[in-house]
Amino acid sequence: MTVSNAGMRQLAGKVAVITGAASGIGQAIASLYAAEGATIALLDLSVERLAESVALCEQEGAIASAHAVDVTNSESVRQVMDTVVATHGGINILVNSAGILDQTPLLEMSEETFDRTIEVDLKGIFTACRWAAPVMVASGVGGRIINIASQLGLKGGVGLTHYAAAKAGVIGFTKSLALELAPHGVLANVIAPGPIFTPLIDGLSEDWKAAKQAELPIGRFGYAYEIAPTALLLASDPGGNLYTGQTLGPNSGDVMP
Ligand SMILES: NC(=O)c1ccc[n+]([C@@H]2O[C@H](COP(=O)([O-])OP(=O)(O)OC[C@H]3O[C@@H](n4cnc5c(N)ncnc54)[C@H](O)[C@@H]3O)[C@@H](O)[C@H]2O)c1
């Protein structure tokens, strides 16, 4: 059997929930999904910060809604998922892109800094999955979950024990989720990007960035729009049909598992 998608928008009729959608990688994924025909529920800390992303989705002709939520607040996330289902009729795709990053050596790390990173970058993903997955399972038509980790979860980085631990956790979490949900037709995968020019890395030291760039086989950092097509692949049919529990690495060659 051959399958051709020529001329078809790959996510027509799908509803995608995207966390961290006000900026960077989440915003780029929202915009591409919108161009591919999805309805987009954009989640981030405030509705005001989401205005630009809503406008980008609407420019692509998509229906888009903005939802203020802190992904560490389980009750708020549950309420937002309920609102999305009531507004758009379901959830077919969940992209977890909300995240924080700071560089702190272990010898100077407070428990609060460590805990907050784990809370946002790891537990925030659990929380969104906890409340979106039941919707996908109950739908009877499956779904796609795409968790944004980092190549640093595979190789570590100086001053990043907390961040690398959270991102490695996302990879292990997603593999288990993939095993649990495959019988329901819900596929769960990780994207582990290399360094990408977004506001997230503004706070990293220039020395760290220069050293990191020098060790990349491709020789440069990426842009958020270069990550979005991997997220489209994982959400698409048939492109993403055989991926589950995988970690895809658009990382300039930084990690070769
Ligand atoms: N930029 C990179 O180099 C890079 C590399 C690998 C992985 N990542 C990962 O990609 C994801 C997206 O990062 P980005 O580079 O687009 O960063 P970004 O800072 O541009 O966007 C992250 C978004 O997450 C939101 N956010 C933060 N905490 C939140 C919370 N508690 N609740 C809801 N929203 C919250 C922020 O408001 C922001 O809009 C993150 O998980 C990050 O760790 C980024």
**Topology adopted by domain 15-246:** Rossmann fold (3.40.50)
- Residue 3's pLDDT band (cuts 50, 70, 90): low
The closest alpha carbon to 91, from 25, 50, 142, belongs to 142
Could you tell me if 136 and 91 are in contact, meaning their C-beta atoms sit under 8 angstroms apart? yes
Name the CA dihedral angle for 153, 154, 157, 163, rounded to a multiple of 10 degrees.
10
Ligand 1 centroid – CA 113 distance (Å): 16
Tell which wins on pLDDT, 6 or 177.
177
Residue 150: both structure tokens together: 């980092």
Catalytic residues: 163
- Report pLDDT for 194: 98
Specify the ligand 1 atom closest to the Cα of 151. Answer: 6
CA distance 253 to 215: 9
* φ and ψ of 215, to 5 deg: -95, 0
- Write down the pLDDT at residue 205: 86
pLDDT at 121: 98
Q: Which residues line ligand 1 (CB under 6 A)?
A: 19-20, 22-26, 44-45, 69-72, 97-101, 120, 124, 148, 150, 193, 195-196, 198-201
Mean pLDDT of the chain: 96
The set of residues, in sequence order, having a beta carbon less than 8 Å from that of 75 and lying 6+ positions away, is none
7-63: pLDDT as tens digits:
789 999 999 999 999 999 999 999 999 999 999 999 999 999 999 999 999 999 999
Is the pLDDT score of 4 beyond 60?
no
**Distance, CA 97 to ligand 1 centroid (Å)?**
6
Closest CA to ligand 1's atom 12: 97
Q: Is 221 a residue whose pLDDT tops 70?
A: yes
The dihedrals phi and psi of 142, each to the nearest 5 degrees, come to 80, -165
Contact 26, 1 (CB under 8 A): no
Give me 188's structure tokens: 């769960």
Dist CA 195 CA 193 (whole Å) = 7
Residue 196 DSSP symbol: E
